[in-house]
Amino acid sequence: MKTVTDYEMHLFHEGTLYESYSLFGAHLIKEKNKIYTRFCVWAPNAESVRLVGNFNDWNGERFQLHRVNHEGIWIICIKGDLQGHLYKYEVIAQDGSKRLKADPYAFFSEVRPGTASIVYSLDDYQWNDHKWMKTKAEKTILAEPVAIYEVHLGSWRRHEDGSYLSYKELAAELIPYVKELGFTHIELLPLIEHPLDESWGYQGTGYYSVTSRYGEPKDFMCLIDQCHQHGIGVILDWAPGHFCKDEHGLFRFDGSYLYEYETLGDRENAIWGTANFDLGKNEVQSFLISNALFWMKYYHIDGLRVDAVANILFWPNRHETENPLGSQFLKSLNQTVLAYDPSFLMMAEDSTEWPQVTSPVEYGGLGFCYKWNMGWMNDILSYMETSPESRVMAHGKMTFSLMYAFMESFVLPLSHDEVVHGKKSLLNKMPGDYREKFAQLRLLLGYMFAHPGKKLLFMGFELGQFDEWKDKEELDWNLLDYEMHQKINKYVKDLLKLYRRSKPFYELDHLSEGFEWIDVHNHQQSIFSFVRKGKKEEDYLVIICNFTGQKYHDYRVGAPKEGSYREIFNSDRDEFGGTNSINKKVLKTEAIEFHGRSHSLRMEIPPFGLSVLRPVKHRKERKGNGKEKVRSHVISRRERK
């Protein structure tokens, strides 16, 4: 009968058993035409461990696990295939106390409020996303458009009776919706098993068990498979810093502080009422790093958004004292994950000023691919919530982000955290009357997509919700019955189309060469103008943003180059709910120096509006569209006549 090898034990205790899920948990073992179910658990300080479940009437007297070579690893093999059966470990501590514990490595769990683990095989799912996986590996994501739709599956949409949609139902409804909007990725709030709905998955018990709220693990595989087949990447929120303290979970697993720090001040997380993982313990590193690889291998996840990185980098109760155990864990995590799959996206939700978060570990960095730009998020929302007439005093909040925009590879987030718990919805953060709120929301979104950095937005913004996020209800879909909400929805779709088809918005996203201010100093009018550039010299766009309700005629803007420009996007179009202050005609430059440039142009500036200008290319500059050849044939025919 297969047991634990000395090599596996060595790697586990060393912190480098990166497929620890293959050793621990419940697994079907075939041997000599017989099937066994093997259970393996780490509980070094337990006096004894028993297996209990619905297959033995929850009586573990004859189901004692045996300890392997005093290594703290316990194992038992039961004859037969126990798939679908409920089970727990009855852990007897050295003081004689008993605890019924769910399996830390279980692949499936009972629907809450049940807390038992379920024997489940993840094998034999037939994936159909080979094209996606191949294409993803060939792309350089830094130079690609990335627009992420953040989703809480339990409140995106629900049945009429208030019950959740299943993973399969979400595949049928969420995927075409996200694709129609134009997002490149979805990001799912944590789906590890968790007892409390209100924690949104950030306080987990089953790190290897996708939550049973919406169906079985293979149903979730189907959801991801369908996303990939429709060209949509999937990112999963992941919380490796802390876990909930429910009795059946990881907390005091064998009577000792096993997964968590032993010292009270380091262990307790008073803000969330959780326990912090002991990131310096090798076995915990094997558990967590294996978990990251597990989601990649078994579920084809495209990325992890690592939650609360500040809580890992700094000791939570030591007044901003750096935690070297945490930073070393993150380096090991990122090195291991990206060695396994270089195209995988590791994203840090980090509110600190820690340097080189997205630099490779070998160059002194933490090794993440992207960092959430929390500074940009705080500044832009603070600016937008300021009354338009007072924005003259808050001008620096808009310009400061460009001082550091290229020091890291950033994601610009307007996430769930900004539209919950009294913070108001994005629309309701905007000052002014009904139409001004919508105009400023359009402007905010337009400026966000024109600003360097990948994009992330939480579900519901595209409906123009007045209410903040309600996690126990579905989104306010009824709003789409109303004109202004239909128009903001159309605006979002058109904005995403503009973003995805405009290389200057993403090709040099992470490099200073991709951005240039035209006018950064106009605080009196709160107007900002700048250039976004692509890799080719002729690929650039001019963006002008007016953050007041004042409309301007014949407003002069310095032009990057002499020539003609066409307005290709305007947030004030009537089809978006605006006043239609647009520039219909081609804008030609004049030899008038302005904004430090030799040529300039005059244009209409919409109130609370964003305008995007593209240089008009002459026919000889156009390549590959076939018009040059057609024109030459027409001329030759005329000459023959």
**Could you tell me which residues come within 8 angstroms of residue 151 by beta carbon, excluding any fewer than 6 positions away?**
174, 186, 187, 188, 189, 459
Q: How far apart are CA 527 and CA 452, in angstroms?
A: 18
**Strand, helix or coil at 199?**
helix
Angle at CA 170, nearest 5°, toward 287 and 235?
40
- Beta-bridged to residue 348, according to DSSP, are 306, 371
The alpha carbon of 422 is separated from its chain's Cα centroid by a whole number of angstroms, namely 23
Q: Are the C-beta atoms of residues 80 and 63 closer than 8 Å to each other?
A: no
**Strand, helix or coil at 450?**
helix
Q: Which of 260, 307, 418, 572 is catalytic?
A: 307
Q: How far apart are CA 615 and CA 604, in angstroms?
A: 17
**Could you tell me which residues come within 8 angstroms of residue 315 by beta carbon, excluding any fewer than 6 positions away?**
265, 266, 321, 322, 323
Q: Which of 349, 462, 468, 604 is catalytic?
A: 349
Q: How far apart are CA 491 and CA 442, in angstroms?
A: 7
Q: How far apart are CA 87 and CA 106, in angstroms?
A: 10
CA dihedral 555, 558, 563, 566 (to 10 degrees): -50
* The pair of three-digit structure tokens given for residue 512, joined into one six-digit string: 């200073």
- Write down the H helix ranges in 416-559: 426-429, 434-450, 483-501
Q: How far apart are CA 52 and CA 102, in angstroms?
A: 10
The alpha carbon of 242 is separated from its chain's Cα centroid by a whole number of angstroms, namely 19
Q: How far apart are CA 49 and CA 255, in angstroms?
A: 12
Q: How far apart are CA 415 and CA 435, in angstroms?
A: 24
Q: Are the C-beta atoms of residues 210 and 110 closer than 8 Å to each other?
A: no
The alpha carbon of 504 is separated from its chain's Cα centroid by a whole number of angstroms, namely 23
Residue reference for tokens 């993403």: 506
Q: CB count, 10 Å around CB of 433? A: 9
Q: Are the C-beta atoms of residues 412 and 379 closer than 8 Å to each other?
A: no
Residue reference for tokens 């968790």: 194
Active site residue 307: yes
- Beta-bridged to residue 322, according to DSSP, are 314
CB neighbour class for 502 (10 Å; exposed up to 12, middle 13-18, buried from 19): buried
Q: Cα-flanking dihedrals φ and ψ of residue 447, to 5°?
A: -65, -40
Q: Is the dihedral of CA 548, 553, 557, 560 positive or negative?
A: positive
**Could you tell me which residues come within 8 angstroms of residue 110 by beta carbon, excluding any fewer than 6 positions away?**
86, 116, 117, 118, 212
Distances in Å between the alpha carbon of 243 and those of 104, 176, 205, 248, 253? 12, 34, 7, 12, 12
Q: Are the C-beta atoms of residues 480 and 486 closer than 8 Å to each other?
A: yes
DSSP state of 192: E
Active site residue 254: no
Residue reference for tokens 């980090």: 350
Q: Are the C-beta atoms of residues 355 and 381 closer than 8 Å to each other?
A: no
Q: Give the residue numbers marked as catalytic.
A: 307, 349
